[in-house]
Amino acid sequence: MSVQELLEETLSESFELYRRNFIALVLATLAASVLSIFIVTVAPLFFGLYVMAVKALKGRKPLTGDVFKGFDYFILSWVLFIIVGAMSLAGLIFLIVPGIAVMVLFQYAVPIALLEKKGAVDSLKRSYKMAVGNLGFSALLWLILMVLNVAGGSITFGILLTQPYSVVALCLAAKKLLKKK
C-alpha cells in the first residue's frame, strides 16, 4: 500500500470512528481540558482520551467517563509526557526541525503503550522504529494533524473538535503500522 493510500485510509477510517463516538469524545476532551487546571491531572486525562480511542478501535463504545481511566496509567502517562515533552521542547529551543522530528518519531508512543501494553521506554522505542520505518507516512500524518489542531485552536472551542479526531487517527495509524510489521 502506498503512503498516499495508507494516509487516505487512515484519515477516512478515523473520521468514521470519530463520527460514531463524537459526543463522548468531545465531552471527554472538554472534561480533560477543564480539569487540567490541576497540573497533576493533565497527563492522565489526555491519556484517557487515548484509552477511549483504543476502546473505539476495538469495536466497543467509549463513554465520556472513560477519560478518567487514564488515571489507571498515572505513572506511565506522566513518564511519557515528561520524556517526549522535554525532548520536543529541547529540540524546538535549539532548532525547530529537531523538535518536529521528535514529535513525529514519538507520536505513536501512547497508542503503543495501550495497544501492546508496553511500558514507557518500550513504547518510545517501538514508536521510533515504526516512525522511522514509515517516515513519509508518519511525517505527513503529523503535519496534517498539526495543521488541523492549529486551525482548531485558532477558533473558540475548535480544539475540542480537532483534538479527539487526532487522537483517534494516531491510535488507528499505530494499529495499522503494528499489523504491517
Residue pLDDT, tens place only, 89-110:
877 787 777 788 888 998 999 9
Q: Is the pLDDT score of 10 beyond 90?
A: yes
* Cβ pair 173, 140 in contact under 8 A: no
Query: pLDDT digit string (tens) for 154-173?
Result: 887 888 999 999 999 999 99
**pLDDT tens digits for range 124-150:** 999 999 999 999 999 999 999 999 999
Residue 41 grid cell: 491531572
Q: ∠ CA 153-97-111 to the nearest 5 degrees?
A: 60
Give the rounded percent of residues in the chain with a pLDDT score beyond 70.
Answer: 99
What's the angle, vertex CA 35, arms to CA 74 and CA 170, rounded to 5?
60
pTM of the model: 0.90
Cell 472551542 identifies what position? 157
